[in-house]
Amino acid sequence: MRAVDIIIKKRDGILLSDQELQDFLSNYLEGKVTDYQMSAFLMAVYLNGLSEGELKTLTKTMRDSGQLIDLEGVTKFLIDKHSTGGVGDKTSIALAPLLATFGIGTAKMSGKGLGHTGGTLDKFDSIPGFTFPDSEEAMVKTIEHTGVGIMGQTDNIVPLDKKLYALRDVTGTVSSFPLIASSIMSKKLAVRSDGIILDVKVGDGAFMKTLEDAQKLANIMKNIGEMFGRTVKVVLSGMEQPLGNAVGNGLEIYEAVQSLKGEGPKDFEVLITTITGIALVQKGDVKTVEEGIALAEAKLKTGEAVNVLRDFVADCGGDASYIENPEKFLSAPHQLELKAKETGCISELMAEKVGIAAMMLGAGRETKEDKIDHAVGIVLNKKIGDQVFEGDTLATLYYREENQKLSEANELLESAYKFSSESIQKPNIILDIQ
């Protein structure tokens, strides 16, 4: 069947057979279907959606378009945790070592960040000498030794998804629920794991702005996982304000280390202990998430997970003294305190504005070619629900003297804060578990 016939069928809401859709997608990867034809198809999907069968075929074809990571030789129970991204999201840095203390291995691919959200790879690049495992064999060795299995995405993993996403990005079709879900799940299904946990962010600093949309996306991704015989749990977590207090690469690793000592921000601790509780249920060590959370909270108090993170960094050629002495991450030469100009209770702290302000300081990329400054960023001294008085420090900007956007970043950060004369309840970080 011609490409145009496939496009017309999807435009008119006619179901495609598995073979029709698979051939169309495979031909696109091979260059036999043009970008403009695929753009028309993606818009038809955006407008008409996909059936359950079409969604499975799309996900399977993307997964099978590249290398599958079987992690042969790993004996640990494996969890693949994925976050839809947000401001200050350093979850994997703390979660993977915490899971390892319970004999659970992590198996996940991570990427670099673009825009106001930072990638896990960028954060670990804050450590001198650090390089992620560059092969499946190296990843297996690291998982078996430390329990932490994080490696960078390669061109060999779901290449069809990479090609489709680049096209979606410039054709207004990114925000399609079936396209988002299949993109995420194709990568999860390409890596062997015993359980998948998805952290779907909700709010101002997230892609999903409402709880209703996040729940819809979660249901689609869970259904895809079940189609392929995978156990998928979804945590819906708040991103109305940044996660934790630190926004910026080295600053976020510092905060992750402090959290593994039981000395981190409460919202971040709640998130990582909740996900650990879910993982312990999936592994069969406990019957309820609440039991698992209690075990995770107790484990944080021992500091055992810090040693796991140190060993992982050392295995990857990094300077492990940065984990032993995390103050080394606080290396930006200058600090500027943002002072409150009024008295009241903080009612809003717009995550996206905080992320963009940190990007202006050099903590993120506006284009793929931009270089990240791993030392700069923002530490939030006050968040939603905190009472402040005029002159109190709301946040601290870590910067370099030569930064030309410091004033603009400071003004944007200030505008992220809103105040109320009434008391405001601190928001819950966990909004739902599915």
Give catalytic residue positions: 82, 161, 168, 183, 187
Residue corresponding to tokens 């993170």: 309
Tell me the one-letter amino acid at 293.
I
Q: Which residues contact 230 (CB under 8 A, 6 or more apart)?
A: 188, 189, 193, 195, 196
Burial class (CB in 10 A: 0-12, 13-18, 19+), 221: buried
What kind and span of H or E run contains 91?
helix 91-100
User: What sign does the CA torsion over 80, 51, 157, 365 have?
Assistant: negative
- Cite the beta strand spans of 212-294 per DSSP E: 232-238, 246-247
Phi, psi of 115 (to 5 degrees): 90, -145
Does residue 191 contact residue 79 with C-beta atoms inside 8 Å?
no
Does residue 147 contact residue 311 with C-beta atoms inside 8 Å?
no
Does residue 354 contact residue 415 with C-beta atoms inside 8 Å?
no
Burial class (CB in 10 A: 0-12, 13-18, 19+), 154: middle
DSSP helix/strand/coil, 122: helix
Residues in the chain: 434
Angle between the N-to-C axes of helices 266-283 and 91-100, in degrees from 0 to 180, rounded to the nearest 10: 40
How many C-beta atoms lie closer than 10 Å to residue 72's C-beta? 9
- What is the CB-side half-sphere exposure of residue 135 using CA atoms within 13 A? 3
Phi, psi of 364 (to 5 degrees): -140, 180
How many C-beta atoms lie closer than 10 Å to residue 1's C-beta? 12
